[in-house]
């Protein structure tokens, strides 16, 4: 068990984002918001317009019934660097 005042990682993930524009096979991310969801299988959630961000609740909910996304997730934004 970790000490109470010690930071301990509880989850590790790798997004594999490629920001190298000269990489021959690299994929580029467009500017915008992205969601990383912790699911047991990558095909378990169908994203085709079924989920929306509810600004009032500050969470992602199912469009049809308003039920919240039941998995751990994080949202990150890609924006153009301005010096």
Mapping DSSP onto H, E and C, the string for 11-54 reads CCCCCCCCCCCCCCCCCCCCCEEEEEECCCCCCCCCCCCCEEEE
Please report which confidence band the pLDDT of residue 50 belongs to, taking 50, 70 and 90 as the band edges.
very high
Q: Is the pLDDT of residue 10 over 90?
A: no
* Structure tokens, 74: 């994080």
| Residues 28-34, mean pLDDT to the nearest whole number | 83
Please report which confidence band the pLDDT of residue 20 belongs to, taking 50, 70 and 90 as the band edges.
low
Chain centroid offset of residue 14 CA: 11
Please report which confidence band the pLDDT of residue 70 belongs to, taking 50, 70 and 90 as the band edges.
very high
| Residues 51-70, mean pLDDT to the nearest whole number | 93
Q: Collect all residues with Cβ–Cβ distance below 8 Å to 12 and sequence separation of at least 6.
A: none
């Amino acid at each position: 068990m970790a000490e109470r005042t010690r930071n301990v990682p509880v989850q590790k993930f790798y997004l594999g984002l490629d920001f190298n524009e000269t990489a021959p096979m690299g994929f580029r991310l467009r500017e915008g918001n992205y969601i990383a969801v912790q699911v047991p299988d990558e095909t378990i959630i169908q994203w085709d317009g079924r989920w929306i961000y509810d600004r009032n609740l500050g969470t992602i909910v199912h469009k049809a019934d308003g039920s919240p996304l039941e998995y751990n997730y994080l949202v990150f934004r890609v924006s153009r660097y301005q010096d």
